[in-house]
Amino acid sequence: MIPDRPLEVLKAIVRDYIASKEPVGSKSLVERHSFGVSAATIRNDMAILEEEELIVAPHTSSGRVPTDKGYRVFVDQLSEVKPLSAAEKVAIEGFLSKSSDLDETLGHTVRLLSQLTNQVALVQYPSLGRALVRHIEIISIDDKRLLLMLITDSGRIQQQVLEIPGGYEAGDVEKLRNMLNDSLTGKGLAEVSAIAKTIAQKATGKIKPLAERVTPELLALVDANSQQKILLAGTSNLARREDDFPGSISPVLEAIEEQVVLLKLISEMQADQHGVSLLIGRENSVDALSSTTVVVSGYENQGSEIAKVGVIGPTRMDYSSNIGAVRAVARYLTKSLGGSQ
């Protein structure tokens, strides 16, 4: 248990170091903050923090900087996070309201979050283990081509143009569309394969060869939908903070481009009291990300979390501001998708 004043000293060190990027000494702490004690007393408090491995002295300076453990204590002690400004809230609502489908919504979201935080932003596509079929559309382009569309309850749309033999009428296409929607609307994507095959087997007359042509393409769309995916924006923000990373920044950039690595990492993260989840420094299971902090929050559809949105940056980041931005954007994304707040 850290005594109250050393804890306040730690908070001041973290805030000052984040703001200045300079190691923090006892003299500057006394000058900048109203502790009401001498520099010698602050040095004693800093010694306690150093014993607890919450701060460390860089070899080139007499000041101190936070360790990963120090940042963790700081974050866990945050009583509140910085809210978005009124202008930022209006900008988010306006930006997301212009989106016409899920791809556009997520693209807008990740770019916006990157701009708000000046970090690398990420947004995960919805988990399709919970996705339901909202609608299947089949549109005749001409007498030999159809447009097949699969729309999920999260708003994700997959489509494919397919060639068909001639001789079909609009009524035939409509019958097949109705058959598919009657059987598949509201079903989970995991159920689609078996049901669609049954529809093709039971179809009769002119509809049967059409169903046999369309259902394999529908299953291909389901498979494409099942691929987990993350969108990134703002990788140049990391390059501008290269001095915050020991050694080369290349391993960090390579790691965040590895979709499988990121997906596994964020899937294991659980929300804290602020509604977000953080991995700070060596808390990350990915060695290449051991000099970064990952901040994510879940977004919802129909009251259930379907995926995560967040940022990746150096451990020297504005935690209050970034946590607030990630949490707010997740809530606006939930609202945009029609989920609960």
At 274, list the tokens. Answer: 């602020």
- For 128-147, write each residue's pLDDT tens digit: 666 789 999 999 998 889 99
Protein fold of 86-127+228-336: Beta-Lactamase (3.30.450)
% of the chain exceeding 70 in pLDDT: 96
DSSP β-bridge partners for residue 149: 137, 159
- For 137-187, write each residue's pLDDT tens digit: 999 998 889 999 998 887 778 899 999 877 778 888 999 999 999 999 999
Domain ranges in the chain?
4-76, 86-127+228-336, 133-225
pLDDT given for residue 228 in this prediction: 80
pLDDT given for residue 205 in this prediction: 87
**What architecture (CATH level 2) is domain 133-225?**
2-Layer Sandwich (3.30)
- For 30-57, write each residue's pLDDT tens digit: 999 999 999 999 999 999 999 999 999 9
Most confidently modeled range among 13-22, 158-167, 257-266, 297-306: 13-22
CATH of 4-76, one of 1.10.10.10, 3.40.50.1100, 3.20.20.80, 1.10.760.10: 1.10.10.10
Confidence of residue 341 (pLDDT cuts 50, 70, 90): very low
pLDDT given for residue 306 in this prediction: 85
Q: What is the mean pLDDT of residues 197-224?
A: 88
pLDDT given for residue 340 in this prediction: 43
Q: Is the pLDDT of residue 18 over 90?
A: yes
Contacts 24+ apart (CB under 8 A), 235-244: 235/120, 237/114, 237/118, 237/119, 237/120, 237/313, 238/119, 238/120, 238/312, 238/313, 238/314, 241/313, 241/314, 243/21, 244/21, 244/291, 244/314, 244/315, 244/316
* DSSP structural state of residue 283: G
Q: What is the mean pLDDT of residues 104-112?
A: 93
Q: Is the pLDDT of residue 338 over 90?
A: no
pLDDT given for residue 290 in this prediction: 94
Distances (CA, A) of 89 to 104, 110, 327: 19, 15, 12
Domains 86-127+228-336 and 133-225 agree in fold: no
pLDDT given for residue 9 in this prediction: 97
Indicate left, alpha or beta for 21 from its phi (over 0: left) and psi (-120 to 50: alpha): left
Q: Is the pLDDT of residue 5 over 80?
A: yes
pLDDT given for residue 127 in this prediction: 66
Q: What is the mean pLDDT of residues 205-233?
A: 87
Kindly report the average pLDDT of the chain as a whole number. Answer: 90
Is the pTM higher than 0.95? The answer reads: no
